[in-house]
Amino acid sequence: MRTFRVIDTHTGGEPTRTIVDGGPQLLGKSIAEQLTDMRENHDCYRRAIVNEPRGSEVMVGAFLIPACVPENHCGIIFFNNVGYLGMCGHGTIGVVATLAYLGKLRTGVQRFETVAGIVSAILHSDSSVTIENVPSYRSHAGFELRVEGIGKFKVDIAYAGNWFCLVPTPIGYDLDRPVSELLELASRILASCRQYFPEVDHVEFFGPAKTDSGSSRNFVLCPGGMYDRSPCGTGTGAKLACLAADGKLAEGEEWVQESIIGSTFRGSFRWLDRQSGHVSPSITGRAFVNADVKVIIDEQDPYAWGL
Ligand code: PYC
């Protein structure tokens, strides 16, 4: 019988399950090399904690590894039901809450190594967390996408640690439609978009905010075919990069992104390079710890390592 420890959090409704003890010893000098080792030799840990019967398709996992550079707090490898994520905003907020719960968070701004680059985070006295994401930018503006049976419409393609297809107006769909319909539409858009931009693995719809304090509401399709319950940290970063490029939001101005379930992230950006449109997005949200679990791998259980 093998055991390891995970801490569950949710950030605006979106879960993160962090392996804090008993995970694999990864080989490699950089996080990229360690990701390769995890993917090729220890993928069973990913499947065990995010896939059924222990996990679910909405679960995002995080594995904490020692920092390659001593000043950084630690490295984080994020994963989901179908593979690995370059970065995860709600997940980073969840990891900070987890480290605080364990009493392992140092004070002040902490730097985390992710596959996409360095992300800094600070835990505030009200337990909210602000993360500063990797450099983010819009690569294509108003790209005309044709989707069989739906028609032609314009989308933006942007990077914020993950690649997004941003659909400004969900083509005759409002976000109050049943989630199953939004999922189907977003999946069809993703399939079309990937013919031109194979790197894109998230689709984001935008609609008007539901509350007076909100700037906009979104719906985000994630790579595993499920939708983000939170406003998606990297998705909000991608939106901020587009708003910056369009001159629709000023540096430092606040953008309140509502999720499909009504949870919110507060965002703003700092210019890194106006010419190339690179920004540094900041996202503030709050995560709650909701389980501290001993995972049991019973070698007699055919599904111990997940379906
Ligand atoms: O918050 O960046 C995020 C995220 C990516 C996928 C699910 N959540």
Specify the 3-state DSSP secondary structure of 227. strand
Alpha carbons 114 and 161: distance in angstroms, whole number: 9
φ, ψ for residue 226, nearest 5 deg: -105, 165
Mutate to test the pocket of ligand 1, among 226, 229, 234, 240 (most ligand atoms within 8 A of CB): 234
Alpha carbons 304 and 297: distance in angstroms, whole number: 5
User: What's the pLDDT band for 170 if we cut at 50, 70, 90?
Assistant: low
Alpha carbons 11 and 290: distance in angstroms, whole number: 11
- Residue 136, pLDDT > 70, answer yes
Residue 39 alpha carbon to ligand 1 centre in Å = 19
pLDDT computed for residue 46 by the predictor? 98
| DSSP structure class, residue 147 | E
pLDDT computed for residue 173 by the predictor? 75
Return mean pLDDT, the chain. Answer: 96
Ligand 1 and 115: CB distance under 6 A: no
User: What's the pLDDT band for 171 if we cut at 50, 70, 90?
Assistant: confident
Q: Amino acid letter at 135? A: P
Predicted confidence (pLDDT) per residue in 98-118, tens digit: 999 999 997 889 999 999 999
Nearest to 12 by CA among 270, 267, 183: 267
Neighbours of 30 (CB within 10 A): 12
Q: What percent of the chain has pLDDT over 90?
A: 94
pLDDT computed for residue 290 by the predictor? 98
Predicted confidence (pLDDT) per residue in 12-69, tens digit: 999 999 999 999 999 999 999 999 999 999 999 999 999 999 999 999 999 999 999 9
Q: Which residues are catalytic?
A: 88, 232
Residue 300 alpha carbon to ligand 1 centre in Å = 34
Predicted confidence (pLDDT) per residue in 201-214, tens digit: 999 999 999 999 99
User: What's the pLDDT band for 154 if we cut at 50, 70, 90?
Assistant: very high
Residue 99 alpha carbon to ligand 1 centre in Å = 19
Q: Give the residue whose CA is nearest to atom 8 of ligand 1.
A: 232
